[in-house]
Amino acid sequence: MGALEAVILTIITASTPLLIAAIGELVAERSGVLNLGVEGMMAIGAVSGFGAALVTGSPGLGILAGIGAGAGLSLLFAFLTLTLAANQVATGLALTLLGLGLAGLIGEPLVGQPGVKLAPVVLGLDVLVFASFLLTAAVAYVLFRTRLGLVIRAVGTSHHSAHALGHGVIAVRYGCVMFGGACAGLAGAYLSLAYTPQWIETMTAGRGWIALALVVFASWRPWRVAIGAYLFGTVTILGFYVQASGIGIPSQFLSSLPYLVTIAALVALSGKGTFTRINTPACLGQSFVPDR
Amino acid sequence: MKKLLGGFLALAMGLAIAGASAEDKLKVGFIYVGPVGDHGWTYQHDQGRLALEQALGDKVTTTFIESVSEGPDAERAIERLARDGHGLIFTTSFGFMESTLKVAERFPEVKFEHATGYKQAPNVATYSARFYEGRYVIGQIAARTSKTGIAGYIASFPIPEVVSGINAFMLGAQSVNPEFKLKVVWVNSWYDPGKEADAAKVLIGQGADIITQHTDSSAPLQIAEAQGAHGFGQASDMIKFAPKAQLTSILDNWADYYVERTKAVLDGTWASGDVWGGMAAGMVRMATYTNLPEDVAKAAAETEARIKSGELLVFAGPIKKQDGSVAVEAGKSLPDPDILGMNWYVAGVDDTLPQ
């Protein structure tokens, strides 16, 4: 394996979980729902995926379990915020705490167990890396080229208008939130099955929050989210390379660089205020109670 | 009816007796900084707690509070245990220092033990382990087994404990091969398997064929295993994660200390103090030497024995700093306070120490 290949492979594995989680959250936010529980859903996805793969011996089933667990937890969020119209910010934060705690509880017997690794298929890349690209392409296509996407964006931009036109605002949002949960669960399963095949508590280490930030800084555009995720991964890994080559740049600075570079790049990309305004879902974070 | 009454009476008496014996039992509390499931630092402390229950289960009961953040929360958690009638409380992270001292002042009859701290009080003792002794041993193993002559070191934060570990590793390696090279990557986290794995990949990509770490997860070992490199476990035995790659593991063993100190409280001989135990005290142990040629394993065991007997001091002079100045003169050894405050690299480390 050449040195450059190794670098590229490392960057791809570091970026993939961020991309998957962020794409899911993007869809939820496009429909007007701000789910701050990404970190918790990732943790649940990681522990469920790891546990299922360990018990069945099949990483494929592990992935499905991760997706299912993430979607399941997001269903709880959807019920609270959509059906009961609870505050989305508070509920999302609670979901993170619940997810992390629950994952620790479920995962107790799994600590210290070597897991089942998702084997690479082509060029040292596993199937989920390709899935993440397909996912991005599919989301970009559906959101901006199909009727369904139009409805989702309409629900996110003006829920009252969408409702008046006869679209089921709550139903659309349920679907989008659960899609986001499934993606977060998948991203978590990627961590515990492909990235570092093991389960330990808090192994998500803040990646859910980074994914959340990426969505905002990418102005809710799928390909920009992909650029952001890869930029973040690239700068993180290159920072390690710089350190390992013994060039005397302070490591604290290198650690903060991915955040700075990604934010700067994405802000520069969406430099025009109008662009961001057009893309921001106007109903983001607002509860919708149908009046008739 | 009489029978029933008698039964109740017996039951009540039984309860009273059970209650009395529970009262007599010493309650020992533990405050953990991480989750018990971290399989690293906190996990090893909890293993110590379980060993204590095993050894003195008829005389003590134990309680723990996990994932306590270092700050105001810690004070509340410690106070809760103290108020709850605990006679001995172990606070197992450096950041609990001030909180432990504050609570100890309010509960003079409760004994406190604070891990890795340096401030004592009449009812607060401190304890830590000389992990650097183990790092010297693995440094020697690294230099003897590496083909490229380069090791990669994944480090958490530039605090003296971590720096002294890097230096001890390097001194061990240099005692075998003076030309040995060490690359250091700081991940600025104790605990992020993803980042640790990335750092390991990067280090292997830059020619290191031995990976060692001062972070808590087994991710770097897994990468070493997958890429045909070798490495060492951290805090607990990680052989399950890397059956071909792990050469040995530095084990934290708090069990003996916890049992000993609890016994001291039970028989009334407990006194405040500062214990910094190493291999001699059994606080630092090495896991089985595996995947090694016989002579290397033998040499490692010999070094371990020499450190244990006190014949070999890790920071014995002559030691030169990175800038060429003399750190320790020949014939002298670095005193403990200087090891505890170490903020310089020995010559040969291929890194600039973050300040």
User: What is the CATH number that goes with domain A2-279?
Assistant: 1.10.3470
d(CA A191, CA A70): 14
Mutation target to probe the A interface, by most A beta carbons within 10 A, among B46, B47, B170, B202 is B202
Q: State the pLDDT confidence band at B8, using cuts at 50, 70 and 90.
A: very low
Portion of chain A with pLDDT greater than 90, in percent: 58
pLDDT of residue B11: 44
Q: State the pLDDT confidence band at B1, using cuts at 50, 70 and 90.
A: very low
Determine contact: A101 vs chain B, CB below 8 A. Answer: no
pLDDT of A9 higher than 80: yes
Tokens found for residue A111: 């600590």
What are the residues whose beta carbons fall under 8 Å from the beta carbon of A114, sequence distance 6 or more? A197, A198, B222, B240, B241
Q: What is the pLDDT of residues B67-107, one digit of tens each?
A: 888 878 899 999 999 999 999 999 998 889 999 999 999 99
With CB atoms and an 8 Å threshold, state whether A243 touches B186.
Answer: yes
B34, closest residue in chain A (CA to CA) = A201
Closest by Cβ to B185, choosing from A195, A243, A248: A243
With CB atoms and an 8 Å threshold, state whether A111 touches B43.
Answer: yes
pLDDT of residue A292: 54
In one-letter notation, the amino acid at residue A17 is P
Residue with tokens 């890397």: B242
How far A30 CA sits from the closest chain B CA (Å)?
29
Chain B residues within 8 A of A108 when measuring between CB atoms: 36-37
With CB atoms and an 8 Å threshold, state whether B205 touches A17.
Answer: no
What are the residues whose beta carbons fall under 8 Å from the beta carbon of B328, sequence distance 6 or more? B315, B316, B317, B318, B319, B334
With CB atoms and an 8 Å threshold, state whether B352 touches A248.
Answer: yes
With CB atoms and an 8 Å threshold, state whether B241 touches A198.
Answer: yes
Mutation target to probe the B interface, by most B beta carbons within 10 A, among A11, A110, A195, A201 is A201
This prediction has a pTM of 0.83
Domains of chain B by residue range: 21-129, 132-251+285-350
How far A250 CA sits from the closest chain B CA (Å)?
5
pLDDT of residue A172: 94
Determine contact: A16 vs chain B, CB below 8 A. Answer: no
With CB atoms and an 8 Å threshold, state whether B193 touches A205.
Answer: yes
pLDDT of residue A2: 66
User: What is the CATH number that goes with domain B132-251+285-350?
Assistant: 3.40.50.2300
With CB atoms and an 8 Å threshold, state whether A10 touches B193.
Answer: no
Chain A residues within 8 A of B193 when measuring between CB atoms: 191, 195-196, 198, 200, 203, 205
For the packed helices A127-145 and A3-30, what is the interaxial angle rounded to 10 degrees? 40
Per mean pLDDT, which of B4-18, B38-52, B294-308 is the most reliable?
B294-308
Residue with tokens 């139009």: A150
Domains of chain A by residue range: 2-279
With CB atoms and an 8 Å threshold, state whether A3 touches B205.
Answer: yes
A114: burial class by Cβ within 10 Å (0-12, 13-18, 19+)?
A: middle
Q: What is the pLDDT of residues B331-341, one digit of tens each?
A: 889 998 888 88
Mutation target to probe the A interface, by most A beta carbons within 10 A, among B190, B198, B212, B322 is B198
Chain B residues within 8 A of A10 when measuring between CB atoms: 198, 201-202, 205
ipTM of the complex: 0.82
How far B36 CA sits from the closest chain A CA (Å)?
8
pLDDT of residue B355: 67
How far A137 CA sits from the closest chain B CA (Å)?
26
With CB atoms and an 8 Å threshold, state whether A111 touches B350.
Answer: no
The architecture (CATH level 2) of B21-129 comes to: 3-Layer(aba) Sandwich (3.40)
Determine contact: A279 vs chain B, CB below 8 A. Answer: no
With CB atoms and an 8 Å threshold, state whether B193 touches A191.
Answer: yes
Determine contact: B351 vs chain A, CB below 8 A. Answer: yes
What is the average per-residue pLDDT within A215-234?
91
Judge whether B21-129 and B132-251+285-350 match in fold.
yes
Q: What is the pLDDT of residues A10-42, one digit of tens each?
A: 899 999 999 999 999 999 999 999 999 999 999
With CB atoms and an 8 Å threshold, state whether B202 touches A252.
Answer: no
pLDDT of B45 higher than 90: yes
Residue A219 falls in which region: left (phi positive, over 0), alpha (psi -120 to 50) or beta = left
Which DSSP string do the residues of B72-98 spell out, in sequence order? HHHHHHHHHHHHTT-SEEEE-SGGGHH
Closest by Cβ to A198, choosing from B189, B219, B236: B219
Helix (H) or strand (E) holding B326: strand B326-328
pLDDT of residue B314: 92
